[in-house]
Structure 1
Amino acid sequence: MAEFKKFILGLIINPISGMGGSVGLKGTDGKKILNKAIQLGAQPNARHRAEELFNNLVPIRSRLKIISAPFMGAEVVRKLDFDYHIIHHFLFEKVDSIYDTTAQHTQIAAEKMKKIDDLRIILFVGGDGTARDVLDSVNMDKPCLGIPAGVKIYSSVFSLNPRTASDLITQFLWDEVPLKKSEVLDIDEEAYRQGRLVSKLYGYLLTPFNPSYSQGAKLGTPDSDLSNQEGIAKKIVENLKKDTFYLIGPGTTTKAITDALDLPKSVLGVDVLYNNKILAQDVNERQILELIKGKKSKIIVSPIGRQGFLFGRGNLQISAKVLKLVGVTNIIVISTRYKLHNILGQTLKLDTRSSETDNEFSGLYRVIVNYDEYRICKVQ
């Protein structure tokens, strides 16, 4: 029986990535914000995302060897019985828990992996901040692929989710897809918390590319969309129900609704509207659950430009728990024509961090694209 040489892959998990999302902190960069997220009850989720990825790679497990670091991936591949090797550095010896890991640990791990000649690709689990740390060490010297786990995921270096990442990795290892220069974007978290989206291009990573599995960079909203947004807002306002809680997602398209009501809106947060009044702004998952439990409620959400995500990008406060409480029939999707036109296949996406919820909320949705104008779009 012929023996095949194993593919060597690098794995870096930012174990605290995404912890600020469900508690409404819009990121987890910096020790101060991490501590605040923990105080608010945030739970780490990045390792679960990595486990989902490697569970999907089990069919080719015998062909893989994983290079990783303590608290940053080694535990996942050990648990799932993958062949693995742990990289060593004196800074890793000082790490006693996931909360001791920093950007420097990511950079060191990426730097060491870059120097391994036979290593085919570096997989990193995190958000835009993690992508920047990998970029600082790797540049375009080694192929990389991001698995989304953070709050901020605007870069195009990411797969759509862990499941599609496993397919993309397999295709890359068997030379079925090309490499592409993909953007590493990040935003100013402090400005983000103040309701301003200030993004910057930091550079490029080489990533495997398949348009069905790869995420595009976020598309901004042009000024020409303003009248279209007003038409959508007018339709929504005319159909608001009495004694119903409306969770209004982030973005300028949803903000047009509160503008039409002459009400304030946190552009990058989730706000609660009830009987034409804003009850709460920039709420987190816990606050949402307390407000709507046992009450009639609906969610008004607009997909992220170009990427097409309804949930799982920039609105982690609307968690799987919240979605199940509201119900699939109470999701109102709105989008300008321009935004929808620039989403590949006009197919909208879910990445709620729960495969069960993603499957439950998949299907055909009516999308309001102007006053009395609709599209039927697939959500998956």
Structure 2
Amino acid sequence: MTDKARFKLGLIINPFAGIGGSVALKGSDGADTRTQALALGAQKLANTRTRLALEELLPFKSQLHIFTAAGEMGETLAAELGFDFTVVYRSLSEQSEAIDTERCAAEVKQRNVDLLLFAGGDGTARNICHVIADTLPVLGVPAGCKIHSGVYAVTPQAAGRVVSMLIQGQIVTLQDADVMDIDEELFRQGRVNARQYGEMRVPSELRYIQAVKMGGKESDELVLADIAAHVIEFMEAHPQRLFVMGSGSTVDFIMQELGLANTLLGVDVIQHGSVLASDVTAQALLAYTANTQVTLIITLIGGQGHIFGRGNQQLSPQVLRQIGRENFLVVATKSKLQALNDKPLIADTGDIALDAMLSGLISVTTGYKDQVLYPIAQFE
């Protein structure tokens, strides 16, 4: 393939995307939040997750040219992996801001790229949409705390595979996908106020592109009450065990049945029928779950199927390994599973080996003493 015929890939990384997740800040919007997250020991993982996507493209290195921003917004990673690239934008500030994402997107747009690959969360998607709208195809690498939008691949590796299909000339349909975002301040208060900000065109390879998150609480309270009764009976039979309560409305219902205060969009720890710690960080969870019997109670994101990697980054790979897959108690109504339309559950922890270890059939509690086996995807 000649240089002229090379696939032109735009690349924009929000280096701070998701930085507040592991330290329970539920977002990364604003310089103050990012500074606080770094002070609490959070690590910037957006480049690490983007690397997983770009590694899928290494076999096509000679067929690809990347247009990106300087430093951690793309240049550093492209250089480390040995891609041919052109820097089209340089931020004037030490910490990249939303305006840098938008300015870089404008520069990339001028290069008439075949696809813009970006890494971040819903805030980043909003910035990209503000500039790009439906003028060229885009695809998101999930790296943020809030990922409600339909413009993201289900995992970073999946994003890379979609791009590789395009490079190879495989037919991939384009579709309009919603760009969603929520108010971070309300999110930190346990309230979800999501709205649509626009649409962008994404390559719709259905195995690899996530659905828009379904809003609202479960309506079938009788089913939820049955699930809660099953979980509470298990708790009462294991009074010394520590229980890590994942985020989501189904887990929230269980906490209500227990009569305990709950962090709807965080992770809590309970023992002996009482809340031991609320809205804990990944580091705190490592300490709480060390050298003790633990059960992690989790549910899935309605419409998407993610059980890890979407809004629960406190459940870090280290925490999940320490707890152990055999100690996961997955809860969901059958209607929530049916809404996935036979798509598997997804573990997107950021650790490829762990995602592989978590794949396969897992028992999902769907009622009182009622379980079904449901697969967790293996993305090879």
Which range, TM-score by smaller chain?
over 0.9
For 2:31 and 2:339, locate their aligned partners in 1 and report how far apart those are by CA, in whole Å.
37
For 1:336 and 1:61, locate their aligned partners in 2 and report how far apart those are by CA, in whole Å.
45
Question: Counterpart in 2 of 1:359?
Answer: 356
Does structure 1 residue 82 correspond to structure 2 residue 74? no
> Do 1:8 and 1:120's aligned partners in 2 also have CA atoms closer than 8 Å?
yes
Q: What's the offset of the Cα at 1:257?
A: 1.2
For 2:153 and 2:213, locate their aligned partners in 1 and report how far apart those are by CA, in whole Å.
14
> Do 2:218 and 2:249's aligned partners in 1 also have CA atoms closer than 8 Å?
no
Q: What's the offset of the Cα at 1:175?
A: 4.2
Query: 1:123 aligned to 114, 117, 121, which one?
Result: 117
Query: 2:208 aligned to 195, 210, 213, which one?
Result: 213
Query: 2:327 aligned to 330, 334, 353, which one?
Result: 330
Does structure 1 residue 224 correspond to structure 2 residue 216? no
Question: Counterpart in 1 of 2:318?
Answer: 321
Question: Counterpart in 1 of 2:51?
Answer: 51
Aligned AA (1:63): Q
Q: After TM superposition, list the pairs within 5 Å mapping 1:34-113 onto structure 2.
A: 34-71=34-71, 72-88=73-89, 92=91, 94-96=92-94, 100-113=95-108
Question: Counterpart in 2 of 1:14?
Answer: 14
Question: Counterpart in 1 of 2:189?
Answer: 194
Q: What's the offset of the Cα at 1:304?
A: 0.3
After superposition, what is the alpha-carbon deviation per residue over 1:281-312, rounded to whole angstroms, capped at 9, x for unaligned? 11111111111211111100000001000110
Query: 1:263 aligned to 260, 263, 267, which one?
Result: 260
> Do 1:172 and 1:178's aligned partners in 2 also have CA atoms closer than 8 Å?
no
Q: What's the offset of the Cα at 1:356?
A: 1.2
Question: Counterpart in 2 of 1:275?
Answer: 272
> Do 2:53 and 2:157's aligned partners in 1 also have CA atoms closer than 8 Å?
yes
3-state SS in 2 of match to 1:108? helix
3-state SS in 2 of match to 1:316? coil
3-state SS in 1 of match to 2:313? coil
TM-score when normalising by structure 2: 0.95
Q: After TM superposition, list the pairs within 5 Å mapping 1:284-323 onto structure 2.
A: 284-323=281-320
Question: Counterpart in 2 of 1:184?
Answer: 179
3-state SS in 1 of match to 2:9? strand
Question: Counterpart in 2 of 1:162?
Answer: 156
Residues 223 and 286 from structure 1, CA distance in 2 versus in 1: closer, same or farther, beyond 3 angstroms?
closer
Residues 55 and 346 from structure 1, CA distance in 2 versus in 1: closer, same or farther, beyond 3 angstroms?
closer
Q: What's the offset of the Cα at 1:372?
A: 2.4
Structure 1 runs of 4+ aligned residues shifted over 4 Å read none
Aligned AA (2:16): I
Does structure 1 residue 142 correspond to structure 2 residue 143? no
> Do 1:232 and 1:368's aligned partners in 2 also have CA atoms closer than 8 Å?
yes
Aligned AA (1:46): A
For 1:223 and 1:165, locate their aligned partners in 2 and report how far apart those are by CA, in whole Å.
30
> Do 1:127 and 1:148's aligned partners in 2 also have CA atoms closer than 8 Å?
yes
For 2:317 and 2:301, locate their aligned partners in 1 and report how far apart those are by CA, in whole Å.
18
> Do 2:224 and 2:367's aligned partners in 1 also have CA atoms closer than 8 Å?
yes
Q: How many residues align?
A: 372
Q: What's the offset of the Cα at 1:171?
A: 2.0
Aligned AA (2:337): L
Does structure 1 residue 340 correspond to structure 2 residue 337? yes
3-state SS in 2 of match to 1:65? strand
3-state SS in 2 of match to 1:345? coil
Does structure 1 residue 237 correspond to structure 2 residue 218? no
Q: What's the offset of the Cα at 1:170?
A: 1.9
> Do 2:89 and 2:103's aligned partners in 1 also have CA atoms closer than 8 Å?
no
After superposition, what is the alpha-carbon deviation per residue over 1:114-149, rounded to whole angstroms, capped at 9, x for unaligned? 1223x1010001110000000011111111000001
> Do 2:246 and 2:297's aligned partners in 1 also have CA atoms closer than 8 Å?
yes
Q: CA RMSD in A?
A: 1.3
- The farther-off stretch of 222-231 and 20-29 is 222-231
After superposition, what is the alpha-carbon deviation per residue over 1:49-83, rounded to whole angstroms, capped at 9, x for unaligned? 11111111101111000000112101111111111
3-state SS in 1 of match to 2:219? helix
> Do 1:123 and 1:147's aligned partners in 2 also have CA atoms closer than 8 Å?
yes
For 1:338 and 1:184, locate their aligned partners in 2 and report how far apart those are by CA, in whole Å.
25
Q: What's the offset of the Cα at 1:346?
A: 4.5
For 1:107 and 1:145, locate their aligned partners in 2 and report how far apart those are by CA, in whole Å.
15
Query: 2:373 aligned to 369, 376, 379, which one?
Result: 376
Question: Counterpart in 2 of 1:132?
Answer: 126
In structure 2, runs of 5+ residues without a counterpart are none
